[in-house]
Amino acid sequence: MSVVSSAVLANSGIKFGTSGARGLVEQFTNEACAAFTCAFVAVMRQSFVFDRVAIGIDRRPSSPAMAAACAGALQQLGLEVDYYGILPTPALALKSMADGIPSIMITGSHIPFDRNGIKFYRPDGEIEKADELAILAVEAEVPAVEPCLPEASDAAVAFYRSRNLDMFPAGLLAGKRIGLYEHSAAGRDICRDVLEQLGATVVSLGRTETFVPIDTEAVSAEDQQRGREWAAEHQLDALFSTDGDGDRPLLGDETGTWLRGDILGLLCARYLGIQALAVPVSCNSAIEASGAFARVMRTRIGSPYVIEGMQQLAGEFAGVAGFEANGGFLLGTDIQVNGASVRALPTRDALLPALVLLAISVAENKPISAVLAELPARYTGSDRIQEFPTEKSQALIAGWREDVAGLLAFLGMSAEVVDVNNTDGLRLTLDNGEVVHLRPSGNAPELRCYAESASAEAASQLVTFVLGKLASLR
């Protein structure tokens, strides 16, 4: 037996980031997974009554063993396990919330292959920051665990499929050729199924059983080139992909150019008739410039902060949503879409915003690029320096907050700063209209840079320039 907080969690090296507990694969021992599970259940039992917990996984090779350890711990606690196997995170969350039970998703999302993670869901949605602290503080014994997994059910995938199909008319995408960049995404099969059910001709691209860590905020040069080549070779109307666990979309237009996630979120929210939005400070200012929303609340980066903002807005507005720069769309209230009642899903979802933009393209009889051209001309670029120690990037940003002029001098930039935003990291608005935003990643040892400018090329060049200067500080 071990004490959860002092003997296991505190010494595991595993940290809570902006999207669950993350760490190296070797840190997620059977004991560590069991300790997290026991602590999570203890916290949930303070507010909810339940007799079972749902579990799902992504395609990382380490995920089944972690899930088996969690399931073994749940059984030792006298709880049944609803095991759904490999599926998108939003599918697991949707089903467990409908059933009124907690759930555990084993996924490292987009972080490097040598890492993995655990996402925890309350019966009413993602755990909150207060829940994270409570989990780490639980004093409870971890039972000896015999890892095991029940047979996987397809009920959660079927429920998620129905939700997306019910929103749109049959044959919506008839005549459309959509390239599905499948890689190792947990939701690649359900995405293909939904697109084909809506009438699209789906071209399978890049399918592999080797895990690929796709980051929708920092699309690799290789994937950018692939997108253009695929679109031309297969005469596509669109490209679609997701990150590893299916909660962050990657959508490309008919030229194979990948869209920014916050622009996709803006178009989705407008189509759904959303009145109020909660979005991170890093999102594109075209959101406000579009004039489509009664209220836009800016938050710290990370779905817990977006959810907190949505909860505040729900007291004032009937239609509330949120999204992140990575494209994950969160629906904060129940809404009506094309005559169908759509249940709130206050966690990131990749499939809904992609389907919405395809529906807009069909309704307006325009290619996706033409739909985008009608938005305010504000463009965002982003990338990151990998293997940049988090403590170092935090210390640098703390120093630059006190010496913005020193940062600009180091970067060799002559522009004047007209606004400084410290909501999350350091975001500088310059007198030439450009924006530079620096922030340590909450999930991995990476220093991220976001930039905004009047053209996509200028935004990309600004990111490359800034990161090129900062790389010497690693």
pLDDT, position 1: 52
Cβ-contact 113, 60 below 8 angstroms: yes
Which residue do the tokens 């009554």 mark? 49
Query: Checking phi first, is residue 289 left (phi over 0); if not, alpha (psi -120 to 50) or beta?
Result: alpha
pLDDT, position 2: 59
The structural domains of the chain, ordered by start, are 4-153 (3.40.120.10), 167-373 (3.40.120.10), 379-473 (3.30.310.50)
pLDDT, position 167: 95
Active-site residue flag, 393: no
d(Cα 164, Cα 249) in Å, to the nearest integer?
15
Q: Which of 92, 94, 95 is closest to 63 using CA atoms?
A: 92
d(Cα 180, Cα 251) in Å, to the nearest integer?
9
Question: CA torsion, points 469, 227, 269, 106, in degrees to nearest 10?
Answer: -80
309 alpha carbon, distance to own chain's centre? 16
Tokens of 105: 């998703």
pLDDT, position 293: 98
pLDDT, position 218: 76
What Å distances lie between residue 13 and 32, 121, 212, 424, 462, CA to CA?
Answer: 10, 22, 24, 24, 35
pLDDT, position 74: 97
Give the active site residue among 109, 290, 303, 393.
109
pLDDT, position 443: 67
Cβ-contact 350, 214 below 8 angstroms: no
Q: Which of 363, 311, 20 is closest to 173 using CA atoms?
A: 363
pLDDT, position 20: 85
Q: List pLDDT tens digits, range 308-350.
A: 999 999 999 999 999 998 899 999 999 999 999 999 999 999 9
Cβ-contact 450, 466 below 8 angstroms: no
Tokens of 113: 């292959």
Which residue do the tokens 């902006």 mark? 18
d(Cα 282, Cα 301) in Å, to the nearest integer?
7
pLDDT, position 3: 64
Tokens of 395: 């210390």
The list of the chain residues with pLDDT below 70 reads 1-6, 18-19, 443
